[in-house]
Amino acid sequence: MGIAACFNCGHIKRGPFHKCPECGKDPKMLDVHTKAVSLYLSSDAFDPELVEEPDPARVRRFSEQIRVGKGVEIDPETLAKLMKIVIEIEQHPVPWWKVLVFLIVCILPAVVTLFVWLILW
């Protein structure tokens, strides 16, 4: 997992689709265009052809540009490709068994703990 600059305030956050802890903007809840921009501002290079330097220094430079209000220019062709990637990601939702594994791993221990607590109490 790399880092990403927030499209709105430039804050460095964990990943392109994470909610920004600084301004609260959440690309997951926004449109394809915003998601594509977020992806571009991240170090998660899905396609090395799209991002010329997929490194944290690039993300920090974007962050700086957004913070000072200059913004980041994205070549329309690159943006179009990124939007296609975002649409592809969205069309392949998490398989049901992954959801099941998540439920078993995260929810079950909590439920068991609650039951044990109730019985002992």
Residues that bind Zn ion (CB under 5 A): 6, 8-9, 11, 20, 22-23
9 or 45: whose CB is closer to Zn ion? 9
11 or 81: whose CB is closer to Zn ion? 11
Tell the smallest beta-carbon distance from residue 30 to Zn ion (Å).
Answer: 12
**What whole-number distance in Å separates Cα of residue 14 and Cα of residue 27?**
13
Map residue 94 onto helix, strand or coil.
coil
HEC string of 71-86 equals CCCCCHHHHHHHHHHH
Q: Which amino acid is it at 57?
A: A
Tell the smallest beta-carbon distance from residue 38 to Zn ion (Å).
Answer: 10
8 or 65: whose CB is closer to Zn ion? 8
Tell the smallest beta-carbon distance from residue 29 to Zn ion (Å).
Answer: 13
